[in-house]
């Protein structure tokens, strides 16, 4: 079945006529024979809108009761059963009443679309999820009902229902939107002219962007390569030089001359990673263009002119701004330059602006060559050895021993050529060979001090010298580069060995791995980004920067780092982006890496993905463990409740049935005994239900204690009052000088009651239960001592688990929740509850609570009260 099509009427504010336009469209389609129904339309008592509903079939709404009030919602099942061609669903961002089929109305619409039903709906611009903060800053009101932007963007058609702010305010004043008693408040608050103008601009810009998307899709589908000047888009070519800021500002001024102009700054880097661009200057220019409302892009291409033109045509640019070349005049013999080439090849549909600047014609410095990888100092020494060395050698030979012989002289000059190759690579060595041959010809080959050579053998010797010098220099340079490559491969192998070792050791720290990536490649920030699908926004799984700040599991969008450079939120914004699978990428910022570094970087990226997957699996395993524990607890609950809940109910049922029986005449004593049995059964049920509810609060983490200073001698007697029978003997020893404790009085009473009740159950009838308290440092200890059978050491922790009862406990004495609830409440109040052996036999429960600050603990333990 084909998916239905969604059409949306988008407005800037309530009352612009979205619902009216939707109903008008429904009437037009109905007249053409289309099966249209009203699934849900809210007319808000607006007469003109209500009239438009006449003549349209309406699906009855579904009634839902919530907090004593009946509400109506769209009946999704009824619409699906009716299965019209078109369904009208008003207010797409609406939140459904609890108990509905879906939480949000747009989820209901997704079901209709999936069933092949076309849907027409309405949305206000302030309800788009991505614009929530912007709308709040404009109106001061945070929209609670929102719809994801992607839901609206997927619509087959979006129609803007526009109205000027004055016209909308007049409509409001005439009572066509709100009731008369609400008009004045609305006009002076949400419907102020400034608010409406800003919201209208938001709606127009959002729809314009959507139109651009439609246009790009059409151009791509129909392979349109020519530029359509539907909107001024200005591409700024940046080299990373200081003139970039001038170019950006000039482009922004050009964009401001036309409505809706857009600036896109682009830097073209060669694929070999060799560039004279300054990463710091590029970072400054990126920040500048973004501050001025433009966007920054990084493109890799060996031919700068072709890459720039391809990018400009790809974004449908209308103008390109370039700086006048910084090259010296003599270098134009090698080619016309990027600016001239772009202007020549741009065609009629792309204007090229060449902007003059202070750096024009000043040169770019030494060109980047392969020897530059040896380091600047080695390159300088290579040129000194290649040019200065032959000069010094010539002076030495002409003044010390001019009769050494041409063959020996050539060997000495050849040595300098080899030294130049070792130090600076091939270019200094070639220069040394050429310069040395000239010096040999002038000073040492007859006739001297002339460039002519008398003996043909000397000509051959010089030719052989140059050939040998070039050959030796090439071999030495190749060997030097191979040595450098070997060192690099060794470093790569060490890095890969580290990664393999971390896998074998089971290390799963994503932050440590990302920090290792940042340090290895000298980057300013590294982030691992992931998303659920191709249309979902990127989220940050982890990031680090040069300031040492770490961010793990951050939310969608851009992540602000504390370092000198922000951590990017999209791979497109990074200097280096390495995809990992379909929905994960490693984003690095700081500089552009050469292609040779990407192999190791890909290994790091793969390891980072493994770490994230491992962490996710650990989380899922933890969740599975929690679910298994929940299933175990539910099983134990059913087993316990099946007996302990049925027993008091059976007693209550039997007593009530006896009292209602007409066959037996009950005496006053018998009636009192039956009523006492009913009361006892209900008390047991109430106690059981209280413990179940308390355990639920503990396990869900919803226990919120109200901490205040309390005296134990006030809480403990109150806790015992509701649980002690006349034949139960409990001895209290609460010192009068005991410090106050910082705790929740109600929770503490429950804790003490459960502990003492447990002790009474297990203590022999002739042995009293001792409740004593003492202070140690900043803690107060409450001990409940019984003389029962005790608990083995290996079982002491198990007694605090839910639904656990010690083996000799009689059935029917609870479901084993008392101690579990007591420990949960104690920990929620910042205390602890532990079990210890009682000297001489039995079990001692030790409740430790924090003492209230400012009141020192002192004094001796004084006998207080005996209950029994």
Which residue ranges of the chain lie beneath pLDDT 50? 273-274, 365-372, 553-565, 807-812, 857-868
Residue of 330, 334, 339, 384 lying closest to 357 (CA atoms) = 339
Beta strands 6-11 and 157-161 are parallel
Please answer whether residues 213 and 149 qualify as being in contact, where contact means their C-beta atoms are separated by less than 8 angstroms: no
Non-local (6+) Cβ contacts of 5 within 8 A are 113, 118, 119, 156, 157
Q: Which two tokens stand for residue 794?
A: 């290996």
Per DSSP, the three-state class of 188 is helix
Say what the pLDDT of residue 276 is.
55
- Beta-bridge partners for 784: 771, 845
The shares of helix, strand and coil residues in the chain, as percent rounded to the nearest 5, are 50, 15, 35
What's the 3-state SS for 103-140? CEHHHHHHHHHHCCCEEEEEEEHHHEHHHHHHHHHHHC
Residue 737: phi and psi, rounded to 5, are -95, 15
Q: How far apart are CA 193 and CA 172, in angstroms?
A: 12
Q: Which two tokens stand for residue 479?
A: 């060997």
Exposure of 9 in the CB half-sphere (CA atoms within 13 A): 24
Say what the pLDDT of residue 556 is.
37
Contacts 24+ apart (CB under 8 A), 60-65: 62/100, 64/97, 64/99, 64/100
- Beta-bridge partners for 834: 846
Overall size of the chain counted in residues: 868
Cβ neighbours, 10 Å, residue 199: 26
Residue 240: phi and psi, rounded to 5, are 90, 5
Non-local (6+) Cβ contacts of 399 within 8 A are none
Say what the pLDDT of residue 554 is.
44
Q: Which two tokens stand for residue 207?
A: 């729809």
Residue 676: phi and psi, rounded to 5, are -65, -35
Non-local (6+) Cβ contacts of 440 within 8 A are 406, 409, 410, 413, 462, 465
Helix (H) or strand (E) holding 36: strand 36-40
Residue of 401, 390, 490, 493 lying closest to 442 (CA atoms) = 390
Distances (CA, A) of 20 to 24, 53, 123, 604: 6, 9, 13, 57
Say what the pLDDT of residue 543 is.
82
Please answer whether residues 296 and 289 qualify as being in contact, where contact means their C-beta atoms are separated by less than 8 angstroms: yes
Scored b (16 or more CB within 10 A) or e, 548-569 reads eebbeebeeeebebebebbbbb
Give, rounded to a whole angstrom, the gap between the first and last alpha carbons of the chain.
78
Distances (CA, A) of 257 to 251, 253, 262: 10, 7, 11
Non-local (6+) Cβ contacts of 700 within 8 A are none
- Beta-bridge partners for 774: 781
Q: Which two tokens stand for residue 612?
A: 């994230």
Residue 809: phi and psi, rounded to 5, are -70, 135
Q: How far apart are CA 804 and CA 827, in angstroms?
A: 19
Say what the pLDDT of residue 10 is.
92
Say what the pLDDT of residue 370 is.
42
**pTM of this prediction?**
0.36
Beta strands 550-556 and 539-545 are antiparallel
Distances (CA, A) of 200 to 143, 145, 196, 240: 17, 19, 6, 39
Q: Which two tokens stand for residue 315?
A: 């974004």
Say what the pLDDT of residue 123 is.
93
The angle at the Cα of 853, spanning 849 to 856, to the nearest 5 degrees, equals 90
Say what the pLDDT of residue 810 is.
41
Question: Is the four-CA dihedral 44, 47, 52, 57 of positive or negative sign?
Answer: positive
Q: How far apart are CA 26 and CA 205, in angstroms?
A: 27
Distances (CA, A) of 810 to 719, 761, 763, 814, 816: 24, 9, 13, 9, 11
Helix boundaries (H) for 163-278:
165-173, 180-188, 193-221, 244-256
Per DSSP, the three-state class of 765 is coil
């Amino acid at each position: 079945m084909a998916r239905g099509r969604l059409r949306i009427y988008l407005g800037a504010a309530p009352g612009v006529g979205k619902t009216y336009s939707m109903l008008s469209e429904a009437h037009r389609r109905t007249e053409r024979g289309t099966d249209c129904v009203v699934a849900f339309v809210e007319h808000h008592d607006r007469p003109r809108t209500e009239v438009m509903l006449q003549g349209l079939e309406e699906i009855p709404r579904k009634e839902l009761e919530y907090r004593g009030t009946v509400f109506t919602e769209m009946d999704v099942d009824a619409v699906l059963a009716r299965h019209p061609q078109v369904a009208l669903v008003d207010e797409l961002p609406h939140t459904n009443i609890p108990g509905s089929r879906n939480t949000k109305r747009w989820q209901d619409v997704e079901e209709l679309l999936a069933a092949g039903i076309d849907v027409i709906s309405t949305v206000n611009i302030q309800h788009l999820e991505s614009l929530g903060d912007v709308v709040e800053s404009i109106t001061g009101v945070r929209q609670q009902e929102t719809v994801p932007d992607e839901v609206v963007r997927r619509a087959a058609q979006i129609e803007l229902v526009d109205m000027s702010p004055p016209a909308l305010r007049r409509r409001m004043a005439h009572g066509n939107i709100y009731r008369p008693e609400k008009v004045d408040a609305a006009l002076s608050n949400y419907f102020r002219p400034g608010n409406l103008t800003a919201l209208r601009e938001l709606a127009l810009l959002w729809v314009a962007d959507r139109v651009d998307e439609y246009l790009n899709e059409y151009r791509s589908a129909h392979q349109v390569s020519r530029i359509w000047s539907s909107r001024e888009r200005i591409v700024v070519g940046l080299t990373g030089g200081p003139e970039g800021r001038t170019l950006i500002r000039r482009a922004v001024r050009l964009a401001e001359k036309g409505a809706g102009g857009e600036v896109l700054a682009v830097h073209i880097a060669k694929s070999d990673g060799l560039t004279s661009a300054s990463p710091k200057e590029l970072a400054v220019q990126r920040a500048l263009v973004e501050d001025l409302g433009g966007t920054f892009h990084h493109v890799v291409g060996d031919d700068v002119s072709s890459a720039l033109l391809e990018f400009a045509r790809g974004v449908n640019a209308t103008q390109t701004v370039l700086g006048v070349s910084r090259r010296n005049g003599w270098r134009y013999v090698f080619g016309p330059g990027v600016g001239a080439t772009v202007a020549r090849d741009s065609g009629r549909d792309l204007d090229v602006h060449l902007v003059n600047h202070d750096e024009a014609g000043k040169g770019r410095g030494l060109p980047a060559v392969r020897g530059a990888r040896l380091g600047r100092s080695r390159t300088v020494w290579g040129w000194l050895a290649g040019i200065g060395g032959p000069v010094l050698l010539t002076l030495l030979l002409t003044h010390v021993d001019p009769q050494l012989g041409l063959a020996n002289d050539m060997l000495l000059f050849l040595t300098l050529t080899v030294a130049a190759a070792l130090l600076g690579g091939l270019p200094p060595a070639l220069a040394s060979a050429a310069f040395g041959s000239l010096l040999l010809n002038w000073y040492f080959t007859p006739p001297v001090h002339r460039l002519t050579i008398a003996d043909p053998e000397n000509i051959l010797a010089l030719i052989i010298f140059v050939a040998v010098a070039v050959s030796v220099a090439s071999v030495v340079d190749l060997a030097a580069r191979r040595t450098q490559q070997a060192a690099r491969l060794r470093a790569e192998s060490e890095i890969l060995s580290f990664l393999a070792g971390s896998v074998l050791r089971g290390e799963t720290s994503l932050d440590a791995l990302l920090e290792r990536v940042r340090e290895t490649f000298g980057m300013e920030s590294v982030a691992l980004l992931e998303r659920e699908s191709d249309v979902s926004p990127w989220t940050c799984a982890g990031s680090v920067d040069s300031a040492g700040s770490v961010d793990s599991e951050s939310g969608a969008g851009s992540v602000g780092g504390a370092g000198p450079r922000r951590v990017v939120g999209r791979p497109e914004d990074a200097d280096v982006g390495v995809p990992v699978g379909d929905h994960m990428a490693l984003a690095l910022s700081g500089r552009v890496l050469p292609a040779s570094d990407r192999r190791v970087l890909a290994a790091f990226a793969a390891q980072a993905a493994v770490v994230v997957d491992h962490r996710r699996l650990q989380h899922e395993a933890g969740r599975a463990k929690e679910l298994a524990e929940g299933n175990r607890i539910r099983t134990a609950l059913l087993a316990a409740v099946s007996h302990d809940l049925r027993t008091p109910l059976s007693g209550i049922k039997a007593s009530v049935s006896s009292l209602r029986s007409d066959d037996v005449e009950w005496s006053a004593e018998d009636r009192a005994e039956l009523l006492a049995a009913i009361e006892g059964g209900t008390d047991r049920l109430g106690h059981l239900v209280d413990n179940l509810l308390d355990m639920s609060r503990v396990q869900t983490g919803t226990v919120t204690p109200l901490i205040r200073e309390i005296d134990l001698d006030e809480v403990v007697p109150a806790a015992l009052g509701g649980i002690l029978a006349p034949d139960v003997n409990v001895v209290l020893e609460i010192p009068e000088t005991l410090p106050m404790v910082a705790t929740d009085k109600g929770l503490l009473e429950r804790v003490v009651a459960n502990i003492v009740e447990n002790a009474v159950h297990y203590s022999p009838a002739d042995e009293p239960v001792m409740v004593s308290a003492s202070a140690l440092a900043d803690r107060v200890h409450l001990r409940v001592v019984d003389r029962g059978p005790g608990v083995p050491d290996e079982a002491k922790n198990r007694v605090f688990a839910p639904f656990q009862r010690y083996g000799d406990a009689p059935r029917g004495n609870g479901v084993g929740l008392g101690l579990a609830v007591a420990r949960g409440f104690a920990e929620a109040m910042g205390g602890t509850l532990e079990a210890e052996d009682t000297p001489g036999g039995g079990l001692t429960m030790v409740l430790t609570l924090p003492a209230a600050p400012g009141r020192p603990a002192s004094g001796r333990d004084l006998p207080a009260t005996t209950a029994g």
